[in-house]
Amino acid sequence: MAKKNRKKGQAKFPVPIPIVALVAVLAGLSLVYVCLQSRTETLGREIKLLEASRDRLRDQLVREQCEWARLQSPSSLDQALKSHGLVMTWPGRDQIVRIRYDGSPDTRGMDTRPVSRMARADRIVMNVN
């Protein structure tokens, strides 16, 4: 009876396993690198788009602010009132009633400023004629 050849039938791997492992690791790292690179590029493009969008919005905001300032300027308001036939005048002395907080609950929420501070009161826009 012929002696059984133990090596017969064993498939020999053509490349050493450590090299295969190294290649696999390198391949994996390359994949990760490619993925990260791709992701970074995508983010870069997004940043660029967002930057452009920010600049566009900022320009738009400034244009709107400019237009708003123009619209609410005293001369525009004056013209608008005139175009609608509205003539506003400053009230006469007898038309002004000043209600001030005197400590009683009834006057709570009323003007508390002393007269000496009145010149710094908030402004009211009116057209003048």
Partner 1 sequence: MSTDQRGSTRFLIIVALLGMAMVGLVVRLVVLHLGSPEQDRATAAKTRTFKQTVSVPRGRILDASSTSGIMALNVGVKDIWADPASLSASNRVFSTISRLKPLLEFDVAEVTERLCRTNSRFAYIARLVPEEKADQVAALKLPGVYMDDAATRSYPQNNLMCHVLGFVNSDGVGSWGLEQLMEKYLKGSPGLIESQLDGRRREMVDRRIREVPAKDGADVVLTIDQHLQYIVEKALDSAMERNRAKAAFVIMQRIRTGEILAMASRPDFDPNRYREARDHQKINRAIAVNYDPGSTFKPAVIAAALNEGVVKPETKFDTENGRWLYQKKVLRDYHSYSQLDVKDILKKSSNIGTAKIAIMLGDQRLYQYLRNFNIGSKLGVDLPGEEGGILTPVKKWAPISASRIAIGQGVAVTGLQMLGVLCAIANDGVLMKPYVIREVVAADGTVLLRRQPEILSRPIRPETAKLMRNLLARVCEDGGTGKKAAVKGIRTAGKTGTAQKVIAGHYSETDYMASFAGFLPASKPEIGMIVVFDNPQPLHTGGAVAAPVFGEIAEQAVRYLGIIPEGEDALSQTDSRGPASESNESF
Nearer to partner 1, 24 or 90 (CB): 90
Residue 23: phi and psi, rounded to 5, are -60, -40
Please report how close the Cβ of residue 122 comes to partner 1 at its closest, in angstroms: 8
Between the alpha carbon of residue 126 and those of residues 10, 70, 78, the distances in Å are 103, 16, 8
How far is Cα 89 from Cα 80, in angstroms, rounded to an integer? 15
Nearer to partner 1, 27 or 58 (CB): 58
Q: Which is nearer to partner 1, 30 or 73 (CB)?
A: 73
* CB closer to partner 1 out of 20 and 51: 51
Write the DSSP assignment of 26-89 as a string of letters: HHHHHHHHHHHHHHHHHHHHHHHHHHHHHHHHHHHHHHHHHHHHHHTSHHHHHHHHHHTT----
State which amino acid sits at residue 32: V
CB of 35 to partner 1, least distance (A): 14
Binding region for partner 1 (CB under 8 A): 40-41, 43-45, 47-48, 58-59, 62-63, 65-70, 72-75, 78, 90-91, 93, 98, 100-102, 112, 114-116, 118-121, 123-126, 128
The least CB distance from residue 12 to partner 1, in Å, is 27
The terminus-to-terminus CA distance of the chain in angstroms comes to 131
Minimum distance from residue 125 beta carbon to partner 1 (Å) = 6
